[in-house]
């Protein structure tokens, strides 16, 4: 991901992450696919596969994880979302964990709720048992 981020930018990292999620969670293909197929499917050079064994990215990976953990704590999962609260403090959260992609209006309402909760002094956590598996919609 760091190789992709460095040369292609955040938008392409999101496409890569999404495609991996679709294959693993939607298609139930638990890494029986080749990463060059994933890169090709999102229109990215397979040269990024060389980064797998390239230690040049190790420090960037550690640094990004350290930043996320410093914002959200070390007893959480990934991904971590980091953002600035209205008081200027940087915070990080794990979640929200959702099982399907909401439409645009629901997405905005969900995000506004996340912001409201994280701006509430003393807010800590919400959690409930999962009752359904992730849905990714139809594969194009």
pLDDT tens track, the chain, 140 positions: 999 999 999 999 999 988 998 888 878 887 788 899 999 999 999 999 999 888 999 999 999 999 999 999 888 887 788 888 888 889 889 888 888 888 999 999 999 999 999 888 888 888 888 888 777 665 54
Measured CA distances, 35 to 2, 20, 39, 49, 89 (Å): 15, 9, 6, 8, 38
Could you give the CA distance from residue 6 to residue 50 in angstroms, rounded to a whole number?
A: 14
Q: What is the pTM of this model?
A: 0.69
């Amino acid at each position: 991901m760091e190789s992709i981020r460095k040369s292609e930018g955040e938008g392409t990292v999101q496409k890569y992450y999404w495609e991996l999620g679709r294959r693993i969670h939607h298609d139930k293909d638990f890494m029986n696919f080749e990463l060059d197929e994933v890169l090709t499917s999102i229109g990215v050079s397979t040269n990024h596969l060389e980064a797998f064994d390239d230690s040049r990215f190790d420090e960037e990976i550690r640094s990004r994880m350290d930043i996320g953990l410093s914002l959200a704590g070390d007893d959480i999962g990934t991904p971590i979302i980091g953002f600035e609260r209205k008081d200027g403090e940087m915070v990080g959260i794990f979640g929200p964990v959702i099982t399907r992609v909401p439409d645009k209006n629901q997405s905005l309402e969900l995000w506004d709720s996340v912001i409201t909760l994280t701006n509430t002094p003393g807010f800590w956590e919400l959690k409930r048992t999962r009752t359904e598996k992730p849905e990714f919609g139809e594969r194009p």
